[in-house]
Amino acid sequence: MRTRQLPGALIAGTALAAAVLLPAPAGAASAAPTASPAVTYTNPLVNRRADPHIVKHTDGYYYFTATVPEYDRIVLRRATTIQGLSTAPEKVIWTRHATGEMGAHIWAPEIHFIDGKWYVYFAAGRTDDIWKIRMYALESSAADPLTGAWTEKGRIATPMDSFALDATTFVVRGVRYLSWAQKDPAIDTNSNVYIARLANPWTISGTPVRLTVPTYPWETVGFKVNEGPAVIQRGGKVFMSYSASATDSNYCLGLLTASATGNLLDPAAWKKSPTPVFTSNTATGQYGPGHNSFTTSEDGGSDILVYHDRGYKDITGDPLNDPNRRTRVQKLHWRADGTPDFGIPVADGATPGRLASHNFPDHYVRHREFRARLEADVDNLADSQFRTVTGLAGGGTVSLESANFPGHYLRGRNGEVRVERNDGTAAFRESASFHQRPGLADPAGVSYEAYASPGQYLRHAGFLLHVQRADTALARQDATFHQH
């Protein structure tokens, strides 16, 4: 969250990597899509809430907590849907102390359900020393943590009595761990990420281990920071994201990876990505994405990335005094090699999705050099993400807007389909609008009939997208897609 009191230098957003066209399979092969189903949310989810943490509980509710810009209290919301958290009533469950410990800088709360009780981890300073930040825990045995009483369990003690924050907990192979960020006075960094076993939810067991120190240039802009760990597990691997650099537009996410069967208390068991996995994006207007958590979609079929950012780059004064970090959510995707693909922080509004081919279910619609085509293993996720919006031509149509080139749409022209910028003409509006139909080869999928050419559909041929008739069985398969 924030080890710093002065703003760092501002940098531009991420560059988009060029894609490589893979060889096309020899022939069409019908198969059911294997990727998780589409989910759509509207961003920002909650304004003026940073360091967001969302947990899906067995009672059917999502629970949400986050840092408030006044840094003076801990709040909770709950709703049966992620989007419902946007308007859910908010309850103050704890307020900072008037004197002494836990009296200032109430930061980064997380809510966890452990052994039948609720726990909230948070960081706080002292009223007489606001930068003496340490970690603390609250406990509640109530079924509903919004209405139940909370007990202070006190400080989470670590061997170093130094700046410490951003506690999170997770279980791997039956062992519960705590991970957090802390300053080591012996080295020249603002904060590093640590891990230890837990004897109980508020007590560390054994000697903590340092997992990562900010050393890469993208981790040390403005301040030398690794903080805000968050864990997601999949396919026998443990992935720990963390935040790096100053809390302005330089803020970004890094990633550590370990085998679930390895010794997680051995730093050598963790591999650190040499590049950030989630950064500012000028095209979508999102700056300083970071301090994330993970949850799952309502149907349980998709992993959801939860994070904060700002909708502008330039900040006057200390970024910690800027109140406009906001909570956002978007689908987390997975590569064929089993690693998470964070993509880019998508534009405000409805989140985008992907279109998988019905007859080549591991191939997705994507653009490369603005030509629309099908590819597997898309190396730049955002090239294969499109937002379904109200059709530019109206009349009950839809248009498909590029995720990484907002204002650009899939457009049929001279039979070819390209991603082009809306030039405001009637011809563009008509050629970039489609009637969304049940899938011609599978009603569970979708097909897109061209508004400007009734009876013709978006379809692939030679792994390039065209607007053509779909009057054969193969053509109907080629014109059917599944939303992911």
Nearest to 246 by CA among 24, 417, 4: 4
DSSP state of 34: -
Q: What mean pLDDT is reported for the chain?
A: 93
Instruction: Report the 10 Å Cβ neighbour count for 25.
Output: 14
The C-alpha atoms of residue 199 and residue 209 are separated, in whole angstroms, by 16
Rg, Å, the chain Cα set: 24
pLDDT in tens, 316-359: 999 999 999 999 999 999 999 999 999 999 999 999 999 999 99
Reported residue count of the chain is 484
What whole-number distance in Å separates Cα of residue 251 and Cα of residue 233? Answer: 24
Residue 100, burial from CB neighbour count under 10 angstroms (0-12, 13-18, 19+): exposed
Nearest of 131, 128, 92, 97 to residue 109 by alpha carbon: 92
Q: Which two tokens stand for residue 431?
A: 């050629």
CA 238-240-244 angle, to 5 degrees, is: 165
For residue 27, is pLDDT > 60?
A: no
- Pair type for strands 434-438 and 481-483: unpaired
Burial tier of 7 (Cβ tally within 10 Å: 0-12, 13-18, 19+): buried
pLDDT tens for residues 178-210? 999 999 999 999 999 999 999 999 999 999 999
**CA gap 266, 109 in Å, rounded:** 27
DSSP string, 189-256: -SBEEEEEEEEETTEEEEEEEEEE---SGGG-SSS-BEEEEEEEEETTEEEEEEEES-SSTT-EEEEE
Residue 252 has pLDDT above 80, yes or no: yes
Q: Which two tokens mark 255?
A: 């990633």
On the question of pLDDT at 4 being above 60, the answer is no
The DSSP output letter for 85 is G
Catalytic residues: 51, 227
**Taking Cα atoms as reference points, which of 122, 302, 82 lies closest to residue 228?**
122
Mean pLDDT of the 267-282 span: 98
Categorize the per-residue pLDDT at 113 as very low, low, confident or very high, splitting at 50, 70 and 90: very high
Could you tell me how far CA 454 lies from the centroid of its own chain? 39
- Angstrom CA distances, 243 to 53, 163, 411, stand at 14, 16, 38
Measuring CA to CA, how many Å separate 262 from each of 112, 270, 271? 25, 9, 12
With beta carbons less than 8 A apart as the criterion, state whether 148 and 162 touch.
Answer: no
pLDDT at 25 > cutoff 60: no
Burial of 61 from C-beta contacts in 10 A (0-12 / 13-18 / 19+): buried
Q: What is the pLDDT of residue 37?
A: 84
Collect all residues with Cβ–Cβ distance below 8 Å to 129 and sequence separation of at least 6.
Answer: none
The 10s digit of each residue's pLDDT in 35-45 is 788 999 999 99
For residue 428, is pLDDT > 80? Answer: yes
Average pLDDT of the residues in 71-84: 98
Q: What's the whole-model pTM score?
A: 0.93
Who contacts 340 (Cβ-Cβ below 8 Å, separation ≥6)? Answer: 232, 234, 239, 255, 277, 303, 332, 333, 334
Are residues 55 and 111 in contact, defined by beta-carbon separation less than 8 angstroms?
Answer: yes
Quick one: average pLDDT of 77-87?
98
Tell me the per-residue pLDDT of 150-169, one tens digit each, with 9 for 90 and over: 999 999 999 999 999 999 99
- Asked if 111 and 136 count as a contact pair (C-beta separation under 8 A), the reply is no
- pLDDT at 403 exceeding the cut of 80: yes
| Overall average pLDDT of the 238-253 stretch | 98
